[in-house]
Amino acid sequence: MRSSTLALKATTLLLFAAYTNAFWRMPCVVSGLARIDPLKYYGTISEHMHAIHGSSGFSDSAGTAELLAGECTSCQVTQDKSAYWTPALYFQNSATSEFSLVNQVGGMLAYYLLRPNAGAANVTAFPHGFEMIAGDTNQREFKYPVPDVDKSNWNVDPYNTQEFKRQAALGFNCLDYTNPAATEGSLYRHSLPDKAYLDAHCKSGVRFELMFPSCWNGKPTPDDKKSHMAYPSLVGEGDCPPDFPIRLNTLFFETIWDTHAFAGTDGQFVIANGDPTGNGYHGDFIMGWDEQFLQDASNQCTDLSGKIEDCPLFTIQPLGDSTACNITESNIPAPIAKELAVGGATTLPGNPPIVSTGYASDVLAAAPSSSSAPAPVSSAPAASTSPSSEQPSSSVASDTQQAPAASTAVRIIADSSQSATEASSTIATPSFSPPPTVTPEPALQSSVSTQTYFSTEHQTKGQDVVEVLWVEDIVTVTATALSARKRHLHKHRRGVL
């Protein structure tokens, strides 16, 4: 009997060890670009532009009920009508002072990491109505050593604070698919490298990363959307603080931005909130699952592959369907329905001041100004490219211009070698298992379309890159999905979760 009991304990421990590494990654394409933020600017217009993903029911007053009532989702699992949003990224040209929207590469990934408290069998699903914000829009400096101290010291003063964990939860992963030796671990650096470093080293763009806190105090969402949550001891893992004992799904955002498209052009990258440092990057989440369904998925979908296809509970929609899902046009406030989202103006949408030092709100209170002069900014030394231990596998004028909102535009696919239907069924998502392999950076093909457009983005299909043109006209494109397992997944490739 004793030997049988020991064997049972060993089996249980093995199962628990596997579960703590389980996760799934949710691919989502952009459902809109708009100055909408129901968590910080409920019922009104946000001060800066956001890249929004998820339910078509998103609006300036949306909550869980409104998201669930949305007609569609831009995420690939139909049961996920959550809202995920972050500020967009812009490039400011030094010669013209004009801002251009930087293209997303393949949408975003929302990781659901299943990391229960020690001794617990499961995580707790986000409750109905749950909301949270990660990051601080006013932060402009990383106040700790660069590169990071060893992770074993993160529970030692001065690193055993929520302030450090909030700043360490940001990542700016330099990508170069032609140089496997340069592969970086997630959350490796916590500030956006300067333009010269990006041009020289990040030939495949930059992956913006954001780890959300996962320890909940069990109380309703407060007005600040933050104080009900805390980070565990090691940011993405470890022990929860005593006052925040409930371990929820660990949410992790990844978005790749095509910064290398501006290589060789003098200027600076500026996040839509007026942040050229990266330290003010932030993200928002509103729960849009059926609560019991998410709990069932968290308990049962524990495959180590991270693939949504390996969860039998999920209904996966064709990529063409998720791509066609936009924020409902009537949900966009009239004052910003025709706001310029993609660039060409000498102010950011909403005209937030550009602040590169200190704490932005304090700086503005001391010396208000409309903006800062366009100049390359380096808020922290460029880090080396060795991986870290945290590897979840990355004077402006006042005039403005107006154009149809990107959030209500549709995508016209132009490619000389394949049809629009074929092209629209590909999204850049990762295919990762340790150790990571690297796909060479593909060459861009020229568009054959002559239709007027006001922005472009690129999606990768095998070794081809499809150019996507944003236009004013509403066009219906019927897409036939390829087999999910045949999609090329290299764009978010990296190390072990």
Q: How far apart are CA 468 and CA 309, in angstroms?
A: 26
What strands lie across the sheet with 131-135, from one edge to the other? 30-34, 50-54, 83-87, 282-286, 131-135
pLDDT tens, position by position, 209-241: 999 999 999 999 999 999 999 999 999 999 999
**In the predicted structure, residue 2 carries a pLDDT above the cut 60:** no
Closest CA to 210 of 153, 266, 158, 285: 285
pLDDT interval class at 259 (50, 70, 90):
very high
Q: How far apart are CA 115 and CA 67, in angstroms?
A: 26
Lowest mean pLDDT among 246-255, 264-273, 346-355, 440-449: 440-449
Closest CA to 228 of 213, 238, 242: 213
H/E stretch holding 87 = strand 83-87
CA distances from 339 to 48, 80, 230 (A): 12, 29, 36
Look at residue 127 in the predicted model and tell me its pLDDT: 98
On the question of a cis peptide bond just before residue 158, with omega within 30 degrees of 0, the verdict is: yes
| pTM: predicted TM-score of the whole model, two decimal places | 0.75
Look at residue 351 in the predicted model and tell me its pLDDT: 94
Q: How far apart are CA 320 and CA 420, in angstroms?
A: 10
The dihedrals phi and psi of 56, each to the nearest 5 degrees, come to -70, -10
Q: How far apart are CA 447 and CA 183, in angstroms?
A: 31
Look at residue 480 in the predicted model and tell me its pLDDT: 36
Lowest mean pLDDT among 24-28, 130-134, 337-341, 400-404: 400-404
CB burial of residue 34 (10 Å; 0-12, 13-18, 19+): buried
Q: Domains of the chain: which residue ranges?
A: 2-377+395-408
Length of the chain: 497
In sequence order, the β-bridge partners of residue 359 are 139
Cβ 90 vs Cβ 102: under 8 Å: yes
Look at residue 155 in the predicted model and tell me its pLDDT: 85
With a CB cutoff of 8 Å and minimum separation 6, the contacts of 153 are: 159
Look at residue 368 in the predicted model and tell me its pLDDT: 52
pLDDT tens, position by position, 315-329: 999 999 999 999 999
Cβ 341 vs Cβ 101: under 8 Å: yes
Lowest mean pLDDT among 25-39, 114-128, 184-198, 480-494: 480-494
Look at residue 344 in the predicted model and tell me its pLDDT: 72
If you average pLDDT over residues 163-186, what whole number do you get? 94
Look at residue 73 in the predicted model and tell me its pLDDT: 99
pLDDT tens, position by position, 61-100: 999 999 999 999 999 999 999 999 999 999 999 999 999 9
Residue 259: CB atoms within 10 Å: 26
CB burial of residue 363 (10 Å; 0-12, 13-18, 19+): middle
Could you tell me which residue, 135 or 1, shows the higher pLDDT? 135
Q: Which two tokens stand for residue 406?
A: 């990107």
**In the predicted structure, residue 410 carries a pLDDT above the cut 90:** no
